[in-house]
């Protein structure tokens, strides 16, 4: 109480008596205890933006250099989905947390206060779902002895989805009163996918353990966790924090609960990094929640009744000294186990991967007594990928992730991916809801499903010129976000280093907060390609490469060699002539495009 009284007194003394003062309420223990001027913030307080038009710092703009994607980001966060083909993917996806776009406070508030929805969930009979002990995939056949139990579990799933307004067209088997045995069909998979996106569950479209546990969790608790995730991103943006405990293998709960899927709390190596930063992000988020009084689902719902102010001032833990800008940053990509052997046997069947240590991305900051690892995140490296040879044929080529020192000079928000001519046509088309085909503008971007996600940092090679200067040459490798979130922990890339989109957004905003930069604005480049597909001519177009910040000075990135591993070849493979060696040459004879 004495500390709070001292804080209030010091705020009153510090506030200037100015004619122009944008007042911001100071929150402590769930109540407004004072006000400060945003123009002269108190050094012991942090102003956090809770407004519905918030976007991360990476999407900042100026009147002279507006950010084209900012309004789209805000609209998606507020679930304002437009009409027309440009919004088709968004209307299908419906929820965007898995892609780094968290809902606005107003959206989550409406969920928390939706009593009919909570009552709907509460009356579902979860007995069979609670007893389910295995992962179910669509169309999974079941033994006769377990059909009844699985049917009852799927009925419960369908009822929960119906409470969320999901599952149109699921079929009679998922009506609450239907006695027939339902199946895990495409309609249920589609509705379940929407539910998983709503709760940031990176499932492959199955009824797995985490999805089942989520369905069994009280709906108010789930909404509260979403609110805490929303608050966390606002706190991260306001403080410039990035330290999430990953460097120390030590993630911390918020108010006694983990608010994320375990997918995002994966120890990439058994041993923590020496001097790895603790989980400052979740500590600050918990402090913010306690200051606002958002400490339980009922109390958060009570606070939402009147709606929180657009901006609040709260007392958060002190930042480490190395947060003073500009900071000396360095990134490192450990390629882990690198498997360059041709991945198919003599009959064209996939060989089992020998990779155990996945690649990692680590960000360091230099402090007065040495480097401190801030985060260690999962990432990707290149592998064997299909390339287009001519109009009808493809071959596998190894896509390397080059080793050595590179530099981030260019940070691009809402980047677009310009596919090279060797990209197979089948990777540049998508099927629409009505069954027709169209060029995949979504994968090109800009947008949350772009191949580069919402943020890209370009890897440049430093080249000394004859005049003694240094030129930076783009080597066509990026550290970038990815809408292909399942690939981050399990897949590979065409050479780039992918990150979960929400982490890539944090990284981009952190770099802007702690490094020098010049705002360059929209990269005015055009892209076009004509695709002949299924008897139709499709045109793929992009109007710019994104919005660029030039980092001054560039940030070094070290890509480590990793450890070369080889798979055990089956006996029949050793008796045959080996296919082409890794590198630029194709492997076995090219196969028809599918």
CATH of the domain at 417: 2.40.440.10
Q: Are residues 345 and 491 in the same domain?
A: yes
Instruction: Read off the pLDDT of each residue in 33-46 and give the average, rounded to a whole number.
Output: 91
Instruction: Read off the pLDDT of each residue in 524-529 and give the average, rounded to a whole number.
Output: 93
What is the reported pLDDT for 167? 75
Q: Are residues 354 and 212 in the same domain?
A: no
Q: Is the pLDDT score of 579 beyond 60?
A: no
Q: Which of 204, 220, 236 corresponds to the end of one domain?
A: 220
**pLDDT digit string (tens) for 427-447?**
899 888 778 899 889 999 999
Q: Is the pLDDT score of 587 beyond 50?
A: no
Q: 429, 436 in Cβ contact below 8 A?
A: no
Q: Is the pLDDT score of 86 beyond 90?
A: no
What is the reported pLDDT for 397? 92
Q: What is the mean pLDDT of the chain?
A: 88
Highest mean pLDDT among 169-183, 289-303, 562-576: 289-303
10: which 2 tokens?
């010091």
Cα dihedral 141, 146, 149, 154 in deg (nearest 10): 0
Q: Is the pLDDT score of 28 beyond 50?
A: yes
Percent of the chain with pLDDT over 90: 70
Listed in sequence order, the residues at least 6 apart from 35 whose beta carbon sits closer than 8 Å to its beta carbon are 11, 15, 23, 24, 25, 26
Domain for residue 119, yes or no? Answer: no
Domain for residue 471, yes or no? Answer: yes
Q: Is the pLDDT score of 227 beyond 90?
A: yes
Instruction: Read off the pLDDT of each residue in 130-146 and give the average, rounded to a whole number.
Output: 81
Give 410 or 577, the one with higher predicted confidence. 410
What is the reported pLDDT for 15? 53
Q: 387, 424 in Cβ contact below 8 A?
A: yes
**Which residues in 449-500 belong to E strands, given as ranges?**
455-464, 470-482, 497-500
Domain for residue 145, yes or no? Answer: yes
Q: Which of 166, 196, 220 corresponds to the end of one domain?
A: 220
Distance CA 283, CA 297 (A): 19
Q: Is the pLDDT score of 74 beyond 70?
A: yes
**CA separation (Å) from 358 to 126, 192, 385, 511, 565?**
37, 29, 18, 25, 12
What is the reported pLDDT for 35? 94
Q: Is the pLDDT score of 11 beyond 80?
A: no
Could you tell me the pLDDT band of residue 185, with boundaries at 50, 70 and 90?
Answer: confident
What is the reported pLDDT for 13? 47
Q: Are residues 195 and 341 in the same domain?
A: no
What is the reported pLDDT for 4? 52
Q: Are residues 204 and 339 in the same domain?
A: no
Distance CA 116, CA 544 (A): 45
Distance CA 348, CA 77 (A): 45
Could you tell me the pLDDT band of residue 204, with boundaries at 50, 70 and 90?
Answer: confident
Domain for residue 554, yes or no? Answer: yes
Domain for residue 106, yes or no? Answer: no
Could you tell me the pLDDT band of residue 109, with boundaries at 50, 70 and 90?
Answer: very high
Q: Is the pLDDT score of 387 beyond 70?
A: yes
Apex 71 CA angle, 459 and 507, nearest 5: 30
When mean pLDDT is compared across 377-386, 412-421, 541-550, 565-574, the lowest value belongs to: 565-574
What is the reported pLDDT for 452? 96
Distance CA 303, CA 31 (A): 10
Could you tell me the pLDDT band of residue 19, with boundaries at 50, 70 and 90?
Answer: low
**pLDDT digit string (tens) for 478-526?**
999 998 999 999 999 999 999 999 999 999 999 999 999 999 999 999 9
Distance CA 316, CA 319 (A): 9
Q: Is the pLDDT score of 583 beyond 60?
A: no
Give kind and range of the element (H or E) at residue 34. Answer: strand 31-37
Q: 445, 451 in Cβ contact below 8 A?
A: yes
- Residue (of 211, 344, 220) closest to 294 by Cα position: 220
Q: Is 441 helix (H, G, I), strand (E, B) or coil?
A: helix
What is the reported pLDDT for 576? 36
Domain for residue 3, yes or no? Answer: no
Backbone angles phi, psi at 310, to 5 degrees: -65, -35
Q: Is the pLDDT score of 163 beyond 70?
A: yes
| Owning domain of residue 526 | 326-592
Domain for residue 279, yes or no? Answer: no
Domain count, the chain: 2
What is the reported pLDDT for 146? 73
Q: 98, 205 in Cβ contact below 8 A?
A: no
Pairing of strands 470-482, 497-500: parallel
Percent of the chain with pLDDT over 70: 89
Could you tell me the pLDDT band of residue 125, with boundaries at 50, 70 and 90?
Answer: very high
Whose tokens are 């492959």? That residue is 204
Q: Is the pLDDT score of 582 beyond 60?
A: no
Domain for residue 558, yes or no? Answer: yes
Q: Are residues 346 and 483 in the same domain?
A: yes
Q: Which of 205, 220, 235 corresponds to the end of one domain?
A: 220
């Amino acid at each position: 109480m004495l500390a709070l009284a001292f804080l209030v007194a010091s705020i009153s003394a510090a506030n200037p008596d100015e004619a122009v003062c944008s007042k911001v309420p100071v929150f402590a223990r769930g109540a407004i205890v004072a006000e400060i001027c945003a123009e002269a913030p108190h050094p012991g307080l942090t102003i956090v933006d809770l407004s519905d038009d918030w976007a991360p710092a990476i999407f900042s703009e100026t009147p002279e250099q507006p950010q084209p994607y900012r309004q789209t980001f805000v609209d998606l966060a507020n679930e304002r989905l437009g009409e027309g083909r440009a919004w088709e993917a968004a209307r299908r996806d419906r929820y965007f947390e898995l892609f780094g776009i968290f809902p606005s406070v107003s959206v989550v508030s409406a969920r928390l206060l939706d009593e009919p929805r909570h009552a709907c969930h509460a009356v579902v009979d979860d007995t069979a779902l609670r007893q389910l002990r295995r992962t179910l995939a669509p169309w999974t056949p079941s033994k006769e002895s377990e059909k009844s139990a699985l049917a009852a579990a799927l009925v419960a799933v369908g009822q929960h989805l119906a409470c969320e307004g999901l599952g149109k067209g699921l079929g009679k088997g998922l009506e609450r009163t239907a006695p027939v045995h339902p199946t895990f069909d495409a309609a249920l998979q589609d509705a379940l996918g929407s539910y998983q996106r709503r709760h940031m569950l990176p499932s492959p479209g199955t009824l797995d353990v985490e999805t089942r546990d989520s369905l069994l969790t009280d709906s108010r608790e789930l909404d509260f966790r979403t609110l805490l995730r929303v608050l966390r991103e606002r706190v991260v943006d306001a403080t410039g924090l990035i330290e999430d405990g990953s460097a120390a293998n030590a993630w911390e709960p918020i108010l006694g609960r983990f608010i994320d899927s375990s997918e995002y709390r994966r120890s990439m190596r058994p041993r923590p990094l020496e001097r790895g930063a603790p989980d400052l992000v979740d500590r600050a988020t918990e402090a913010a929640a306690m200051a606002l009084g958002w400490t339980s689902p009922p109390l958060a719902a009570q606070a939402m009744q009147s709606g929180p102010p657009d901006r609040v001032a709260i007392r958060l833990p002190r930042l480490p000294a190395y947060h003073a800008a500009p900071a000396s940053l360095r990134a490192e990509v450990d390629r882990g186990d690198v498997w360059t052997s041709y991945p198919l046997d003599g009959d064209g069947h996939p060989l089992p991967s020998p990779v155990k240590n996945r690649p990692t991305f680590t960000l360091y900051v230099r402090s007065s007594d040495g480097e401190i690892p801030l985060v260690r995140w999962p990432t990707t490296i290149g592998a064997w990928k299909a390339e287009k040879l001519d109009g009808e044929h493809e071959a596998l080529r190894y896509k390397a992730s080059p080793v050595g020192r590179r530099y981030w000079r260019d940070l691009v928000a809402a980047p677009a991916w310009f596919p090279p001519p060797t990209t197979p046509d089948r990777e540049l088309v998508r099927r629409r809801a009505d069954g027709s085909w169209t060029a995949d503008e979504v994968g090109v971007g800009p947008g949350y499903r772009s191949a580069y996600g919402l943020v890209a940092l370009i890897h440049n090679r430093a080249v000394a010129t004859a005049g003694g200067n240094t030129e930076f040459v783009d080597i066509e490798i990026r550290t970038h976000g990815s809408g292909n979130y399942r690939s981050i922990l399990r897949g590979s890339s065409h050479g780039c280093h992918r990150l979960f989109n929400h982490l890539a957004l944090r990284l981009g905003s952190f770099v802007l907060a702690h490094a020098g930069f010049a705002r360059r604005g929209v990269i005015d480049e055009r892209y076009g390609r004509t695709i002949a597909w299924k008897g139709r001519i499709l045109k793929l177009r992009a109007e710019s490469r994104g919005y660029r910040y030039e980092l001054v000075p560039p940030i070094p990135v070290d890509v480590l060699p990793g450890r070369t591993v080889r798979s055990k070849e089956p006996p029949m493979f050793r008796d045959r002539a080996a296919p082409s060696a890794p590198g630029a040459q194709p492997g076995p004879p090219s196969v028809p495009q599918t």
